[in-house]
Homo-oligomer: A and B are copies of this chain.
């Protein structure tokens, strides 16, 4: 059935006329080992010709650590900005021979620590923070690098809220609202963004925004709108574009419109924001750069160096359209 056994490094060694060790040295170009150009070429050619791919399992077993990086994704809808981030992260890690493995927390086959134990993960990443016991468990497993907080991502939360609020303040709004989703998975992110908005208000000498829930999956937006109007809120920052659309729908149900009755600004700049009626003002977030940066951090971290997690490289930009 499987007549052609898979090629191993021994096959390469035989073809190249060297020992298996030499093959290993060449292929992993081991630092400190000097291999004459001629031998190196022979090995490389043989490997190429036989289409040799080292078996990850064997490599892991021997080395004690795999080249798998696990990214734990919380139970939330994966928007385009997140998937862009993941994509970029995976690509950049792949360039360093690391393979990204996204583990959906909602896919509750086994707890995170178990999955990492079986695959012998080299590093574990996640959005938000892990619980201390999870971190402890992972470290006990010998995972080289646990990143409890996605620093880049979380650091980007503040500026988003700030940008939203500053925009509305600049346009003359003196009393702001903040629209939150109901989804618990979003809570951490939402708090970050809200804090940013509150900071902008404080800097302008204004009271903190009135935070209310306006979930896209429910119909509580109209109620939120009427509460805001009672408190003479004239501008609302929404957690993201979908929440913004919910607010907009709430306004419409009350016979009102944006921006004349209430200004609304979203976040994420999802594709539909541009073509909505009216086109939604929002904040665009470039996570691609963050993904690359993140990968860099993992690589240096795995090399044993201490990494600086403070730098936030997420580019956010205001996109002014018709609802503000």
Contacts and interface: CB of A to CB of B under 8 A. Distances in A.
Interface of A: 2, 4, 6, 53-61, 66, 77-78, 80, 83, 86-87, 90-91, 93-95, 99-102, 104, 106-110, 114-115, 117-120, 140-142, 216-217, 221, 241-242, 245-246, 248-249, 252, 270-272, 274-277
Determine the main DSSP class of A at the interface with B. Answer: helix
B217 A271 contact: yes
A245 B275 contact: yes
A245 B56 CA distance: 45
Given A6-B141, A80-B77, A56 B91 contact: no
A104 B119 contact: no
Contact of A109 (B95, B108, B216, B270): B95
A292 B61 CA distance: 32
A25 B290 CA distance: 47
Contact of A108 (B4, B58, B91, B108): B91
Given A6-B142, A217-B271, A55 B118 contact: yes
A90 B77 contact: no
Contacts of A2: 142
B120 A55 contact: yes
Nearest to A215: B271
Contacts of A102: 102
A107 to B, nearest CB: 4
